[in-house]
Amino acid sequence: MAARSGKVTVVGAGFYGSTTAQRLAEYDIFETVVLTDIIEGKPEGLALDLNQSRPIEGFETTVVGATTGTDGSGYEQTADSDIVVITAGLPRKPGMSRMDLIETNAKIVRQVAENVAKFSPEAVVIVVSNPLDEMTALAANATGFPKQRVIGQAGMLDTARFTHFVAETLGVPVASVRTLTLGSHGDTMVPVPSACTVDGKPLADVLDQAKIDELVDRTRNGGAEVVALLKTGSAYYAPSAAAARMAKAVAEDSGAVMPVCTWVDGEYGISGVFLGVEAEIGAGGAKLFNEPAPTETELAGLKAAAEAVRAKQADVAEL
């Protein structure tokens, strides 16, 4: 039987949080998955339901539900988590940009982050609440944790969307496609065509530029497309898959290379900003490595993204 260890907490038991908790529990690598929410009974009910799926799905991880208060009550059940995934916050409605959520979600994420720091001072924190780059910066600030221990989930999702669109367009398995996006989770997302391949061949050899541009555009608006169809709420299957994989890489200290939102200070000639780049994910959080050189155009895009998010990240310090 596989060894199980560690405790992971998912804050926010909405669509994103509950599916993340489900994926984490089904990995069957953790001792405990804790799911919390401010809606009384919701996390407990979902935990009970998830636990009852254990004999069918065949996992032994225990799921614990805990209602929390904004005063920090209930957080004792999350104490000493190794990993905390923050999904608390409002999702978009059709027509909204992620940035429209900034004031509301900043208050929520700040309060959550302060409690996480108090109850799980050694945790690696994975932020998914939107607007992502700003909420990651805010959580790092509010926890006071070393910056590499606070990571935002965006790049995994954006690349998954891009990969799906390329695979669908070409009628090839997703496994034969590799894509990469860096920058922000939003308007300044930076596709990196030089790192995109299909069966090892450069993307530009198998798709014409107009088609690539169209797919990049669809990727950039990938979240909005889902929001417009759902009408209430935003995407959660692909997002939760991405967040859960990041948590797994931390738990297993795998050093897997993933595009994530992390503190960039010197790399790519960019300093002092949380930005989407590739990093090794392990027990200490995100570690930047000797980054591959993007092309001049890609680098210019990354620098523009850095400046765009830098301004907004300064704003959240006041929220």
186 and 272 in contact (C-beta within 8 Å)?
Answer: no
Residue 44 touching ligand APR (CB under 6 A): no
d(CA 204, CA 207): 5
CB 224, min distance to ligand APR, A: 11
d(CA 93, CA 163): 25
CB 185, min distance to ligand APR, A: 9
- Among residues 6, 12, 186, 282, the one that binds ligand APR under rule CB under 6 A: 12
Read off the amino acid at residue 22: Q
d(CA 41, CA 113): 22
Please identify, among the stretches 54-62, 124-132, 141-149, 292-300, the one whose residues bind ligand APR according to the rule CB under 6 A.
124-132
Residue 227 in tokens: 């929001």
Residue 151 touching ligand APR (CB under 6 A): no
Indicate the residue among 259 and 301 with the shorter CB distance to ligand APR. 259
- 164 flagged as catalytic: no
Residue 233 touching ligand APR (CB under 6 A): yes
Please identify, among the stretches 2-10, 105-113, 185-193, 310-318, the one whose residues bind ligand APR according to the rule CB under 6 A.
105-113
Residue 174 touching ligand APR (CB under 6 A): no
For the chain, the farthest-separated pair of C-alpha atoms sits apart, in whole angstroms, at 57
Please identify, among the stretches 33-41, 190-198, 250-258, 288-296, the one whose residues bind ligand APR according to the rule CB under 6 A.
33-41
Residue 45 touching ligand APR (CB under 6 A): no
Q: Which residue among the candidates 23, 147, 185, 220 is catalytic per the annotation?
A: 185
d(CA 41, CA 36): 10
What count of other Cβ atoms lies within 10 Å of the Cβ of residue 228? Answer: 13
Handedness of CA 36, 38, 41, 46 (dihedral sign): negative
- Three-state DSSP at 177 gives strand
Residue 89 touching ligand APR (CB under 6 A): yes
Which of 72, 138, 70, 127 has the alpha carbon at shortest distance from 318?
A: 138
Which residues of this protein are in contact with ligand APR, per CB under 6 A?
11-17, 36-39, 68, 70, 87-92, 101, 105, 108, 111-112, 128-130, 233-234, 236, 239
> Catalytic site residues?
185
